[in-house]
Amino acid sequence: MSGEITYEEFQARSSFSKEELLAFAYGRLVKDPPDHFRARLPAPPMLMFDRITEVESKGNKGRIVAELDVKVDAWYFQCHFNGDPVQPGCLGLDAVWQLLGFYCVWRGGPGTGRALGSGEVDFFGQIRPHDEVVRYEIDVRRYTELESSGASLVVGNARVLVDGEEIYRIDKARVGTFTGIDYSNYPLASEHSRGGRMER
């Protein structure tokens, strides 16, 4: 399915195509977003998956699964490393954060997403240019909406696989969504055009 969908349809979906993820990244997927709906996925080349094949919730737990088609000419293979191309492991971690942020918004979390950290990260494999498919499997351990502060938080444990073989494990990856922090008038200077420590 492609084209704009309603917010109700968005929350009822259990999978999303590449075209829909791109539309979400550009703020064009949901045609009737509520006022608090400000989140975006990164646009390419930083969008680290091509499709979400599964997203579900069970109480404050859930699951989200996505896939990336490996491309021999991907930007990171051109520079990391010259003569020894390998996808940076940090991009696999970022993919997990991207997916957890999407999960928050899909569950109804307000505002825009920000990575908050992770527990232990183990790398015991690699992604090379002639591999085929990277799969991200995330078990959501806890999702919470903090209505008083206009935020949501999610914690998940992830496995990253390439062509069916597990190569990374990420425990307690954490993402939140927050209201009142988005910087929608980039590149103009405005209230949120500078970074630094966020209010706690």
Catalytic amino acids? 80
Distance in angstroms (rounded) separating the CA atoms of residues 21 and 58:
23
DSSP output for 99-149: HHHHHHHHHT--BEEEEEE-S-EEE-----TT--EEEEEEEEEEEEEETTT
Distance in angstroms (rounded) separating the CA atoms of residues 169 and 136:
10
166 by DSSP, 3-state: which? strand
Residues 6+ apart with CB under 8 A from 61: 139, 140, 141, 142, 143
Distance of CA 19 to the CA centre of its chain: 15
Q: Are 198 and 181 in contact (CB under 8 A)?
A: yes
In angstroms, the Cα distances linking 66 to 31, 90, 92, 97 are: 24, 17, 12, 12
Position 36, amino acid: H
